[in-house]
């Protein structure tokens, strides 16, 4: 199975080779989609983990043991649907194909599975309806 999660690193571990340990110890295929990490500061990493379900669970336990918060991506990007005018500006920018304006209704459809949290939709929505939130540290 593959699972996309956002890892939020506390400042004290943001210099550690966490991903190296993850691959070595749990034999998980890791695809880093986005990284915002600087030693000594809170960092975030969007990763896709490709492994058996039990290994993914072990990896999550490993992250928790190191004080790293894990959150599925789908719960992170959201937009105010009630104010959406289905103009398509977000979909135009969304190269990952998560936001699409499609027939027959030509309304906005969001597929969280495809979202790589690049945040282009936040800038591209002319109504500023999108938000992305990172969860507080454990």
Partner 1 sequence: MAKTYEEINEKIRQGKAVVLTAEEVAEMAKTASAKEIARKVDVVTTATFGAMCSSGAFLNFGHTTPGIRMETIELNGVRVCGGLAAVDTYVGATDCNPQNPTYGGGHIIEDLVAGKEITLEAWGKGTDDYPRRHVKTLITKDSINEAYLYNPRNAYQNYNVAVNSTGTTKYTYMGTLLPRLRNAAYSTAGELSPLINDPECRTIGLGTRIFLCGTVGYVAWNGTQFHSTKEVNAHGIPTSNARTLAVVGDLKEMSTDFLRGVYYEKYGVSLFVGLGVPIPILDEDLAQRVSIRNEQIETVISDYGDNYHILGKTNYAALRSGEIEVNGQKVRTAPVASLAKAREIADILKAWIQEGRFELSAPVRPMPTGTSVKPLEIRGFKDETGIQ
**Binder among 42, 124, 132, 134 for partner 1 (CB under 8 A):** 124
Site string for partner 1, 71-100 (x = CB under 8 A): --------------xxxxx-xxx-x----x
Euclidean distance between CA atoms 97 and 114, whole angstroms: 6
Cβ–Cβ under 8 Å, residues 11 and 40: yes
Among the residue ranges 6-14, 15-23, 64-72, 123-131, the one whose residues contact partner 1 (CB under 8 A): 123-131
Please give the structure tokens belonging to residue 10.
């506390």
Say whether 111 sits in a helix, a strand or coil: coil
If one asks whether residue 31 binds partner 1 (CB under 8 A), the answer comes out as no
The answer to whether the CB of 31 falls within 8 A of the CB of 98 is no
120 lines the binding site for partner 1 (CB under 8 A): yes
Alpha-carbon span 45 to 70, nearest angstrom: 10
Contacts to partner 1 by CB under 8 A: 85-89, 91-93, 95, 100-103, 105-107, 120, 123-124, 126-128
């Amino acid at each position: 199975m593959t699972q996309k999660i956002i890892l939020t690193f506390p400042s004290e571990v943001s210099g550690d080779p966490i991903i190296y340990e993850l691959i070595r110890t749990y034999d998980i295929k890791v695809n880093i989609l986005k990284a915002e990490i600087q030693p000594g500061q809170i960092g975030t990493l969007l990763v896709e983990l490709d492994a058996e379900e039990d290994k993914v669970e072990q990896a999550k336990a490993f992250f928790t043991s190191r004080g790293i918060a894990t959150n599925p991506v789908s719960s992170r990007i959201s937009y105010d649907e009630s104010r959406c005018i289905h103009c398509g500006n977000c979909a135009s920018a969304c190269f990952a194909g998560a936001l699409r304006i499609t027939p027959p209704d030509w309304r906005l459809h969001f597929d969280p599975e495809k979202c790589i949290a690049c945040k282009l939709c936040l800038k591209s929505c002319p109504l500023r309806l999108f938000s992305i939130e990172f969860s507080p540290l454990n």
